[in-house]
């Protein structure tokens, strides 16, 4: 066999560039593959079309966007957590279960990458995909800007809150998809957990709890809820507590993803 000297030397050069750079490189490579994966299958297009159609339906028909006569996107953003409840688990369910079903996880994790790089790369790719879907709602912004004089800062905050909510749900989907090689099971568990995050702070649910649970427990459960944090962003505020909430959910879920993957490998 012709040993290709330049190939080997290039590999060692990359290795010498330091662990930090190669870590970033690995995350980017994995993310790139994952994101391309979305767009080479019809899943991405179906997903985006459904997302936009449903969002349009809820905003205009149910949210009565025009009748509100407001130059704000409140009627638009209020539906996001509910839509994400189903759409984000659908986008995230394949993240790890597909790797396990195809056994490509064995290929991926025997490459010189750490499990964290793989988890992060895949997560960021899915998140970027959701961000693309969200970006395609820009005609809404143009519409309110044309019809009135909206607070662009508030709209930006709304998008940021929406994106963070999507990220939190997605990290949970990543966790549940590591649990099983069955995408449907992954999807259902993920929806249930996300539903809990929505309902935990919802009055009908907290009222139910108040009757028998101590106050601290009700508060604790309510503090898991995504709603109050999402709403702060909708009011045009960026509060560090809300940012921390979303970041904690993501870090915790991705960390748990790593623990689950590790325990599978340990057999």
Partner 1 sequence: MIKVENLVKAFGPKLAVNGVSFTVERGEVLGFLGPNGAGKSTTMRMITGFIPPTSGRITIGGFDVVENPIAAKRLIGYLPENAPAYTDMTVMGFLRFAAELRGLRGAARDKAVERAIELCFLESVRHQSIDTLSKGFRHRTCFAQSIIHDPDVLILDEPTDGLDPNQKHEVRTLIRRMGEKKAIVFSTHILEEVDAACTRAIIIDRGRIVANGTPQELRQRSEMAGAVTMRVKGPTAAELRDRLQQLSTVRKTLFVKEDGPGLCARVVPSPTALDGQLEESLFDLVMREKWRLLELKTEEGRLDEVFRSITLPDTAPSKKE
User: Which residue ranges make up the site for partner 1 (CB under 8 A)?
Assistant: 1-4, 6-8, 10-11, 14-15, 19, 22, 25-26, 29-30, 33, 36-37, 40-41, 102-104, 106-107, 109-114, 265-267
CA distances from 5 to 1, 8, 11, 13, 15 (A): 12, 5, 10, 12, 15
CA distances from 251 to 30, 120, 136 (A): 19, 10, 27
In terms of CB distance, is 30 or 48 closer to partner 1?
Answer: 30
Q: Mind giving me the DSSP string for the chain?
A: ----HHHHHHHHHHHHT-HHHHHHHHHHHHHHHHHHHHHHSTHHHHHHHHHHHHHHHIIIIIS-HHHHT-SS-HHHHTTHHHHHHHHHHHHHTHHHHHHHHHTHHHHHTTSS--HHHHHHHHHHHHHHHHHHHHHTTHHHHHHHHHHS---HHHHHHHHHHHHHHHHHHHHHHHHHHHH-S-HHHHHHHHHHHHHHHHHTT-HHHHHHHHTTS-HHHHHHHHHT-SHHHHHHHHTT---HHHHHHHHHHHHHHHHHHHHHHHHHHH-
Residues in Cβ contact with 245 at an 8 Å cutoff, skipping those fewer than 6 apart:
229
We find the least distance from the C-beta atom of residue 99 to partner 1, in angstroms, to be 9
We find the least distance from the C-beta atom of residue 174 to partner 1, in angstroms, to be 18
In terms of CB distance, is 20 or 241 closer to partner 1?
Answer: 20
In terms of CB distance, is 40 or 240 closer to partner 1?
Answer: 40
We find the least distance from the C-beta atom of residue 129 to partner 1, in angstroms, to be 14
We find the least distance from the C-beta atom of residue 51 to partner 1, in angstroms, to be 21
We find the least distance from the C-beta atom of residue 20 to partner 1, in angstroms, to be 13
We find the least distance from the C-beta atom of residue 116 to partner 1, in angstroms, to be 12
In terms of CB distance, is 183 or 225 closer to partner 1?
Answer: 183
We find the least distance from the C-beta atom of residue 126 to partner 1, in angstroms, to be 15
In terms of CB distance, is 44 or 189 closer to partner 1?
Answer: 44
In terms of CB distance, is 67 or 110 closer to partner 1?
Answer: 110
In terms of CB distance, is 40 or 69 closer to partner 1?
Answer: 40
């Amino acid at each position: 066999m012709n040993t290709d000297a330049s190939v080997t030397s290039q590999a060692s050069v990359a290795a010498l560039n330091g662990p930090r750079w190669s870590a970033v490189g690995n995350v980017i490579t994995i993310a790139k593959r994952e994101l391309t994966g979305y767009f080479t299958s019809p899943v991405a297009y179906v997903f985006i079309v459904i997302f936009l159609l449903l969002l349009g339906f809820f905003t205009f028909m149910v949210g009565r966007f025009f009748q509100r006569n407001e130059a704000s996107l409140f009627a638009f953003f209020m539906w996001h957590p509910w839509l994400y409840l189903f759409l984000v688990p659908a986008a995230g369910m394949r993240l790890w279960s597909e790797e396990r079903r195809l056994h490509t996880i064995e290929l991926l994790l025997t490459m010189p990458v750490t499990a964290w790089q793989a988890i992060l790369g895949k997560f960021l790719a899915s998140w970027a995909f959701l961000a693309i879907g969200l970006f395609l709602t820009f005609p809404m912004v143009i519409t309110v800007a044309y019809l009135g004089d909206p607070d662009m800062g508030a709209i930006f905050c709304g998008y940021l809150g929406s994106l963070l909510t999507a990220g939190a749900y997605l990290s949970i989907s990543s966790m549940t998809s590591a649990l099983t090689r069955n995408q449907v099971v992954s999807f259902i568990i993920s929806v249930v957990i996300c539903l809990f995050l929505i309902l935990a702070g919802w009055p009908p649910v907290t009222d139910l709890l108040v009757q028998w649970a101590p106050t601290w427990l009700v508060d604790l459960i309510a503090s898991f809820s995504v709603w109050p944090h999402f709403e702060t962003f909708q009011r045009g505020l960026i509060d560090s507590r809300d940012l921390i909430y979303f970041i904690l959910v993501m870090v915790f879920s991705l960390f748990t993803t790593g623990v689950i993957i590790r325990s599978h490998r340990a057999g």
